[in-house]
Structure 1
């Protein structure tokens, strides 16, 4: 059973679309809705579009109104509201495109939203450079040999140990104001990461060499 969700946000549009048949649910925010139409996305594949719809025309309403979920709460971001809808539908595994690029405060806001859901949902972001996601205290990356790996404390991670990285860590502490673990790379197909306290956002990029 697939049980995966594909969610488009209103950041930098993806250059290509993933295999849609891999997903049980496909959704977008109303900002992403506009670029999906521009780039020829098969709009009939969308299960829902969430937002306040301030920028939509009447023709949009007629063509897609059955897919609209109106979420006018200005105290929450469109990403947050979309995640709440997805969680209410019983899904937990979510791939997110369009979270980065454009205005960087939106990117940081998207990370903060993902952090707030990290204990309930498995959220993976994808962009043109990497995939990135929060990891539990004991985690293994597979099929990553020679790929760029960055460990970013959010905001701290204590007693971090790794295996399979070119520059290994052994019981070290990371913090955004002290030491971060970016721009490393894997020297094995499997990279293990363990830490005792805090949180880590891991980035898996393209091959280093």
Structure 2
């Protein structure tokens, strides 16, 4: 599959859901290459932001805007994947920050979280209304205030180890239908997490965004 975006800079990827203007500005400071998933371009261009690329099946992109953007638009007619999937498959970047993939519809939020696991991408961070969410890499260390929330939600059968969490996870067999790890929290200023396979989503407070965007490209990935 040919890449549509291949960059050494971070990518801010914007979907068609709700997001705050301040969050877009925050994301672009960390990941300056702006890409839209299909109809995400409508809101960006209305706000005076022209994405470098638009990727999707184009069922939501305004036709007049599509004509205006011309070669910036990549039409992927596949109906068996979401626009988020299409984008992740065609972007190579140290880190991707996703906005507009949660909040508007719960099914879209769940689909985006599934995509994180399906692609095995541990370097994609969803900046959501209340949290950030990313696929846990094989190992990661976090600098957190004691008491900071650390929620772990498995999308597959996963085991792991931890240090610095109030409730250690070693010996637990996580799965979405049985054991989950929401509402855990840090007991120490450093939390270490390690997992045996891709499938665990980590949800942290939004003030962790900058730290996670910096650390994910530096650590091991599943790919």
Q: Into which bin does the TM-score normalised by the smaller protein fall?
A: 0.7 to 0.9
Give ranges in structure 2 of 5+ residues lacking alignment: 1-6, 208-223
State the match for 1:35 in structure 2: 43
State the match for 1:137 in structure 2: 138
Distance 1:99 1:56 in 2: 16
Distance 2:162 2:43 in 1: 40
Q: Greater share of strand residues, 1 or 2?
A: 1
Matched, 1:112 2:124: no
Query: CA 1:178–1:23 in 2, change beyond 3 Å: closer, same or farther?
Result: closer
14, 17, 20: which one aligns with 2:20: 14
State the match for 2:53 in structure 1: 48
Q: Which runs of 4+ in 1 moved over 4 A?
A: 55-58
Give ranges in structure 1 of 5+ residues lacking alignment: none
Matched, 1:67 2:67: no
Distance 2:106 2:116 in 1: 15
Displacement of 1:7 in angstroms is 0.4
Displacement of 1:42 in angstroms is 2.2
Aligned length: 199
Give secondary structure in 2 for the equivalent of 1:174. Answer: coil
Distance 1:25 1:37 in 2: 15
Distance 1:181 1:197 in 2: 16
Q: Which structure 2 residues correspond to residues 43-192 of structure 1 after superposition, within 5 A?
A: 43=50, 46-87=51-92, 91-118=93-120, 122-158=123-159, 160-192=160-192
Distance 1:198 1:56 in 2: 33
Give secondary structure in 1 for the equivalent of 2:199. Answer: strand
Given that 2:136 and 2:198 are in contact with CA atoms closer than 8 Å, whether structure 1 keeps it comes out as no
Given that 1:148 and 1:206 are in contact with CA atoms closer than 8 Å, whether structure 2 keeps it comes out as no
Displacement of 1:37 in angstroms is 3.3
Given that 2:126 and 2:134 are in contact with CA atoms closer than 8 Å, whether structure 1 keeps it comes out as yes
Q: Deviations over 1:154-202 (max 9, x none)?
A: 22222x3322122233322222222211011113221111233563111
Larger Rg computed on CA atoms: 1
Query: CA 1:47–1:163 in 2, change beyond 3 Å: closer, same or farther?
Result: same
State the match for 1:202 in structure 2: 202
Query: CA 1:182–1:48 in 2, change beyond 3 Å: closer, same or farther?
Result: same
